[in-house]
């Protein structure tokens, strides 16, 4: 079994890297598992533990679904948390100009269904996860920091490929 997901790779630069560094410094005393900037990505489908025999059908499906889709961009903009500021779980950077990304998400998810993958289908909320919060003592500090960036455009991301990733969980 391999733990798999389908995603778009994102190479952070400039304003995003500066904000991320400042965020980690401002919240350094909190219990947060930060994503390595080299591993930032936008997940299109999380497949979870997948049997080896099923993996072979993924590459042809992705090739078929993504063929002819072309290169497009989206904008990394804004920052916030999932669940809410009273009980934050994930710190994220948002996405603007996501129409083509949503079309790609729908194509891939239909392709996954066609080859027998059953996925949970929450509403697609494209984002980059910066950190997973284990606990925060100062929610007001977190909120005030992220509020400063709610309307900030960090960078444009050009999508040239969709990648099938394997996630390896490490004990920390």
Annotated catalytic residues are 41, 127
**Contacts of residue 148, Cβ cutoff 8 Å, sequence gap at least 6:** none
Q: Please write down the HEC assignment for all residues of the chain.
A: CEEEEEEEECCCCHHHHHHHHHHHHHCCCCEEEECCHHHCEEEEEEEEEECHHHHCCHHHHHHHHHCCCCCEEEEEEEEEEEECCCCEEEEEEEEECCHHHHHHHHHHHHHHHHCCCCCCCCCCCCEEEEEEEEECCCHHHHHHHHHCCCCCEEEEEEECCCEEEECCCCCC
- 94 near 77, Cβ under 8 Å? yes
- Within 13 A of 102's CA, how many CA atoms are on the CB side? 8
């Amino acid at each position: 079994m391999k733990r798999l997901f389908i995603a778009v790779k994102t190479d952070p630069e400039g304003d995003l890297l500066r904000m991320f560094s400042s965020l980690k410094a401002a919240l350094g005393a909190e219990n947060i598992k930060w994503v390595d900037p080299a591993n930032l990505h936008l997940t299109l489908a999380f497949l979870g533990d997948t049997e080896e025999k099923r993996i072979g059908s993924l590459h042809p499906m992705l090739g078929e679904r993504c063929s002819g889709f072309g290169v497009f961009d989206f904008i990394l903009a804004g920052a916030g948390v999932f669940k809410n500021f009273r009980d934050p779980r994930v710190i994220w950077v948002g996405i603007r100009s996501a129409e083509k990304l949503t079309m790609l998400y729908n194509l891939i998810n239909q392709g996954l269904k066609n080859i027998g993958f059953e996925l949970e289908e929450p509403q697609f909320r494209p984002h980059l996860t910066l950190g997973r919060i284990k606990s925060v003592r100062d929610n007001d500090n977190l909120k005030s920091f992220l509020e400063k960036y709610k309307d900030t455009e960090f960078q444009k991301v050009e999508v040239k490929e969709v990648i099938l990733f394997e996630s390896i969980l490490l004990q920390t």
